[in-house]
Structure 1
Amino acid sequence: MRMSLASLPRRVTAEFTGTAALVAVIVGSGIRADSLSQDIGVRLLANALASALGLGLLIALLGPLSGAHFNPVVTLSEWWSRRRESPAGEAAGYIAAQLTGAVAGALLAEAMFGRAPGTLATAPRAEPHLLLGEAVATAGLVLVVQGLRRIGRLPLAPVAVAGYIGAAIWFTSSGSFANPAATVGRAFSDSFTGIAPGSVPAFAAAQLLGMLLGMGLAAALYGKPAGATSEPNGVPTRRSR
């Protein structure tokens, strides 16, 4: 059966909703973990499990609408791969929705736990080894997304992408934000998952570098992408008229 994309307003709404929900899960689980244990290993485990489970469910739920990018580096890498058939304005709409959704999700998480929404994070994360870890985390994410599409295994995306992020939270020094929108959102939460606003530009630059590395590695491994009618993070998407 031939599948096509949902209307742009519905896709943008899905990206806003999914990114907001994802950041609410990440920040909220971090706040909850902070209140339950002072052991950083326990807190990291709780946050990683909640983040991976939430991401997988959101990809499965919203993939048929927007492709469930929830991440500017996924949107940019996919737009570049299909730039002859995908208008730049659509990518810009996705990214705007992701950025605003991420901030909304962080503020929602703060409010749910009775904290003052809008308090900026104070944890600096601009050390070179953390930026290296973030570039590696993002490169791996882009490779997973691009690889799944190029080998025709998109239905595995909810498990594969969520599994990768859950693992990368542990094996990278940065904790695998791997998402410029989520990075901006997490600057609005002074909690276990927060990042000081002054560290956001360096983190975002590392993520963009990781995106380029992941795209280059995907091209080296799989060759040029074939024409695709579906999005990367889930099942093929549908257009409503």
Structure 2
Amino acid sequence: MSARNTQKLLAEGLGTALLLAVVIGSGIMAERLAGGNVAIALLANTAATVGGLYVLIEVFGPISGAHFNPAVSLVMAARGELARGLLLPYVLVQLLGAMAGAWLAHAMFDLSLLQCAGKLRGGQGQWIAEAVATFGLLLVILRAPAGRASALVAAYIGAAYWFTASTSFANPAAVFGRMFSDSFAGIAPASAPGFVLAQLLGAGVAMLVARLLSPLRPSTPPLAAGTEQTQKA
């Protein structure tokens, strides 16, 4: 593997790990400080995720596209903006990074590193919400003006935390990582398949709609526009 591709995989793995550390760590902190007020805890979790996501896309976008998300990588590969040979390695490092991010969050808060989430998240409304959240995320990425995707993606995810019933995971890697955290941001393994299937459906519909809206943009780093491109959590 070339040095350039190694850099891309390192950026994807590290970026995904840091993203999950932000999502899970801020959830733990928010729950501890909110005194049982779930709305305040979610607001704090949202604010941290928005800021962290924006920074991570800006930092890693020029290297790997800052996907941090298998659904994004799949769409980019389908569009020819990510080499097909890199799709599986991207997904693998994203999943490993997500799990490492959960462990990092636990370590920072003196919690047991190895956990299994017990929070069930399922049902038709949750699945529709995940399809909608992922559809919107991919549409923002595909239609964002060049150079503005990082801010738009972060803003969209912040909004989707609140307008979707699922609080907008919109990312199979985030689902995977959050299975390993029995915390505010966790999701039980039994709930994961429904979330991932809904996310992939939403991503596929977004790609089709983007094609219908107008001719495809010239291949640009989706997130640099998440950048050579990418990007929930």
Counterpart selection for 1:36 from 29, 33, 36: 33
Distance 2:139 2:83 in 1: 23
Distance 1:87 1:61, change over 3 A: closer
In the other structure, the counterpart of 1:118 is 114
Distance 1:62 1:154 in 2: 16
Alignment of 1:141 with 2:137, yes or no, is: yes
- Once the two structures are superposed, what CA deviation does each residue of 1:163-208 show, in whole Å capped at 9, x if it has no partner? 0000000000000000000110000111111000111111100100
Once the 2 structures are TM-superposed, how far is the Cα of residue 123 of structure 1 from its aligned partner? Answer: 0.6
Distance 1:234 1:105 in 2: 23
Once the 2 structures are TM-superposed, how far is the Cα of residue 87 of structure 1 from its aligned partner? Answer: 3.3
Distance 2:141 2:217 in 1: 14
- Once the two structures are superposed, what CA deviation does each residue of 1:142-165 show, in whole Å capped at 9, x if it has no partner? 1001112xxxx2311111000000
TM-score, normalised by the number of residues in structure 1: 0.90
Q: Is the 8 A contact 2:50 2:155 kept in 1?
A: yes
In the alignment, structure 1 segments of 5+ residues that lack a partner are 1-5
Alignment of 1:209-224 (within 5 A): 209-223=201-215
Equivalent position SS for 1:125: coil
Distance 1:157 1:39 in 2: 32
Q: Is the 8 A contact 1:82 1:227 kept in 2?
A: no
Q: Is the 8 A contact 2:222 2:228 kept in 1?
A: no
Once the 2 structures are TM-superposed, how far is the Cα of residue 227 of structure 1 from its aligned partner? Answer: 4.2
Counterpart selection for 2:199 from 203, 207, 215: 207
- Once the two structures are superposed, what CA deviation does each residue of 1:73-116 show, in whole Å capped at 9, x if it has no partner? 11111110117xx4322111111110000000011101110110
TM-score, normalised by the number of residues in structure 2: 0.93
In the other structure, the counterpart of 2:164 is 172
Q: Is the 8 A contact 2:136 2:206 kept in 1?
A: yes
In the alignment, structure 2 segments of 5+ residues that lack a partner are none
Alignment of 1:7-156 (within 5 A): 7-37=4-34, 38-82=36-80, 86-148=82-144, 153-156=145-148
Distance 2:94 2:156 in 1: 20
In the other structure, the counterpart of 2:189 is 197
Once the 2 structures are TM-superposed, how far is the Cα of residue 226 of structure 1 from its aligned partner? Answer: 4.4
Equivalent position SS for 1:7: helix
Distance 1:89 1:118 in 2: 32
Letter in 1 for 2:147: P
Q: Is the 8 A contact 1:178 1:207 kept in 2?
A: yes
Q: Is the 8 A contact 1:137 1:210 kept in 2?
A: yes
Distance 2:157 2:25 in 1: 17
In the other structure, the counterpart of 1:3 is none
Equivalent position SS for 1:154: coil
Q: How many pairs are equivalent?
A: 226
Distance 1:115 1:141 in 2: 32
Equivalent position SS for 2:148: helix
